[in-house]
Amino acid sequence: MGIWRHRIPVILEQRDFWITILLFSTFFAFLLNYYSLQRGLNLVTPHLFYIPLVIAAYWFPRRGVLITVGIAMGYLAMAYITGYPNLEVITQATAQFYVFVAIGVIVASLSNTLKEQEDRYHGIFDYSEAGVFLAMNLRSGFVIEEANDRGADLLGYRARELAGREFLDFFVDEGEKAGIRERVLAGGAVTEFECHLRRKDGYVIHGLMSAGPIPGRKVVFTLVDITGMKKAEEALRESKERYQGLYTNAQVGLARVSVADGSIIDANDQMASMFGYPSVNEFIREFRFPEHYVDRGVREHLIAMLADNETISNFEARFTKRDGSILWARFWVRIFSEKGYLEEVFTDITEEKQSHRALDESEERYRKLVESLPDYILVFSGERLLFVNRSGAEALGRSPEEMVDESISNFIDPESWDSVRRHSRERVAGVSVEPYEITLSTHEGKSRTVLVNATPITYRNEDAILAVLTDITERKQAEEELNASKDQYIATIDAMIDGIFLVNRDLDIVLVNSTFRRWLERIGMEREIIGRNLHDTLPCISGTALAKVREVFLTGRDLETTIGFTLNGREHIFETRLIPVLGDNRVERVMIIMRDITRSRKIEEEKRFAYEQIEKNIEQFAILGDHIRNPMQVIVGLADIEGGPFSEQIRCQAKEIDRTVSQLDRGWIESEKIREFIRKYYGIGK
């Protein structure tokens, strides 16, 4: 347990640990917010983003604002994608975007200030010439929590090895130990207390100690080794090296600059790198500050300020780097007039400035978006208008400036005003209100129908309602015209003598005209068929006919077919035409037009049968003529052979019979011409 008590603070100071927490919390926040946006429950879950925002801005202040903007834009994009066209969700997400960015900027600024103070503390703590020990005042004694390198070095340990050890255990003399305990436990302080402590290697050092309590039951011990001059000189040399390391490796730019001409006297690597120079020597040789200020008169203004104040903090200016690009810097400067130089500490804030510029550009884009929206945007508090975009003002026949501070009731139809007030009170009370329609009164006395979608906001430190009004006047008129057109369309198809019905892509029947309904009643199908499947409802349309319907959906071409079936012992024949109905560049429905040709088909069949019978009869007549002529030839021959008084009469009667048969032959020939004409022009016969 004691080990973890000292390891946990170490873990919490590790950068990788907080990067892991940042990634996990960001993923978890996006996941929950996506789930909430999908279900319209996005009032609480956006607050989950505060965890990664605060972590990013606090632990990574230099890039914290960029990370904050990235997370905020990610959330805004997710809200736009999942929430569109719900303007309430989009408006809330936009407001959250600005809140997230503001939190990131504020926390990053505070973190920078805190880290500067912490760096100063650690600079004093770590690079102090004396050994510094921070101990917890417990019953068991003074337990070391933290020690600087100098203190650990004095005792022959590493700093982390001292954590958790009793500080007084290093004392050699029990009297000195008791004196320290007595004076410090009583709440007092110890200064310049000479003592002897044993190092890890057993060597005893003679030290000068100071101690004093600090809040939180803690005690600070400072120890200076006064063993000998050599030790003191060595310690001084090490201290100088540590200072030089701090100066050289500092993450801020450090420079000493000539007041007279702005040349560089001395600088660290970070300063040279900041201005694009590969080495300090080149930076010192080439760089002159007066030549690199972007804005004229800034250096002169800075020198004038230093004449009144020796030190200036947080001064911002733009400089050109070696490659000509722009560097934004915030710096601390102190003038040493008697020595003729400036001490300057530079911080690169180019990314910060770019972030602010991006934020300003985002606000400008949002303002232009609101101004250019075709919807009418109104912000009002009570009945007083606070803001109107140009589209809304022009629709009402006024200018935005004229409408501000007027009563919103002046622009709303009296019949709609009660609805507006009731819904506004409900929104302020936190009740969700669905979009609703109202009527606006224009300057010219005309009316406009709009769809209202609104949400409570804070506008210029005042509670207000943001209303987005979508003009649906033309849409309402179009709907009325569409309904009238639909009624005419239905009346037209009901008046047609052909049976008509429509099926969708699932082959469900969606429309039936009155003629088709009468046919269904006539064949005994009186139930409602709209909404039912074609295959199950009309078994007669199956097989080839059903395949034709599917073919129309696939090809988009008109088709014609004939459907025949027998129902209740009666045969029915329909001439059918399939017409595609297009929508969204594909066939959405198929109109099926059926014409009953059962009677005409039967008449044609009867005509064909009668014609065939006539042909048979005529052929029989032709055969009968031959049968008559053959016996007649025999009779005439016998009459000629026998002679007698009756032979002449027999020949005369035979000629009369032959003339009659010839007339029948001529009639058969004429009948053949008539049959040929009927076959050619009416399609009857073989």
User: What is the DSSP annotation of 450-485?
Assistant: EEEEEEEEE-SSSEEEEEEEEE-HHHHHHHHHHHHH
Is CATH 3.30.450.20 the classification given to domain 127-245? yes
Burial environment of residue 466 by CB neighbours within 10 A (0 to 12, 13 to 18, 19 or more): buried
Residues in the chain: 686
Q: What are phi and psi of 674, to 5 degrees?
A: -65, -40
CB atoms within 10 A of CB 359: 18
User: To 10 degrees, what angle do helices 61-83 and 50-59 make?
Assistant: 160
What are the pLDDT digits (tens) for 516-554?
777 777 766 656 778 788 777 776 776 777 888 888 888
Q: What is the 3-state secondary structure (H, E, C) of 93-113?
A: HHHHHHHHHHHHHHHHHHHHH
Both structure tokens of 258: 């000539």
Give residues with Cβ within 8 angstroms of 414, minimum separation 6.
none
Tell me, what's the pLDDT at 681? 56
Tell me, what's the pLDDT at 332? 86
CA angle 345, 351, 356 (to 5 degrees): 110
Tell me, what's the pLDDT at 644? 65
What are the pLDDT digits (tens) for 273-310?
889 999 989 999 999 998 999 898 888 888 888 888 88
Both structure tokens of 109: 């600024």
Tell me, what's the pLDDT at 618? 64
Q: What is the mean pLDDT of each run of 10 residues along the chain (686 residues)?
A: 48 67 78 76 71 74 75 78 74 76 77 69 65 82 83 84 85 84 77 83 83 81 75 63 62 86 89 89 90 89 87 89 90 88 88 76 65 76 83 79 82 81 79 82 77 82 82 75 67 73 83 78 70 74 77 84 71 80 82 77 69 65 66 70 69 74 64 62 55
Architecture of the domain made up of 373-471? 2-Layer Sandwich (3.30)
Q: What are phi and psi of 559, to 5 degrees?
A: -135, 150
Which ranges constitute the DSSP H helices of 84-173? 87-126, 149-155, 159-162
**CA dist., res. 42 & res. 39, Å (int):** 8
**CA dist., res. 484 & res. 488, Å (int):** 6
- Could you tell me the CA-to-CA distances from 206 to 117, 130, 147, 212 in Å, in that order? 33, 13, 19, 20
What SS3 state is found at 272?
Answer: helix
DSSP 263: B
What are the pLDDT digits (tens) for 442-465?
777 678 888 888 888 888 778 888
**CA dist., res. 197 & res. 176, Å (int):** 10
- Could you tell me the CA-to-CA distances from 483 to 475, 477, 530 in Å, in that order? 12, 10, 20
The CATH code belonging to domain 250-354 is: 3.30.450.20
CA angle 31, 36, 37 (to 5 degrees): 100
H/E run at residue 61: helix 61-83
Name which of 513, 519, 518, 517 is nearest 496 in CA terms: 513
Tell me, what's the pLDDT at 248? 65
Architecture of the domain made up of 496-596? 2-Layer Sandwich (3.30)
| Cβ(156)–Cβ(203) below 8 Å | yes
**CA dist., res. 594 & res. 540, Å (int):** 12
Preceding peptide of 435 cis, ω within 30°: no
**CA dist., res. 191 & res. 210, Å (int):** 4
Q: Is the pTM of this model over 0.85?
A: no
* Tokens 């337990």 sit on residue: 143
CA angle 38, 44, 48 (to 5 degrees): 95
* First vs last C-alpha separation in the chain: 112
Tell me, what's the pLDDT at 42? 67
Residue type (1 letter), 282: E
With pLDDT > 90 as the criterion, what percentage of the chain qualifies?
Answer: 2
**CA dist., res. 105 & res. 53, Å (int):** 10
Q: Contacts by 607-611 with C-beta closer than 8 Å and gap 24+?
A: 607/684, 608/684, 608/685, 611/675, 611/678, 611/684, 611/685
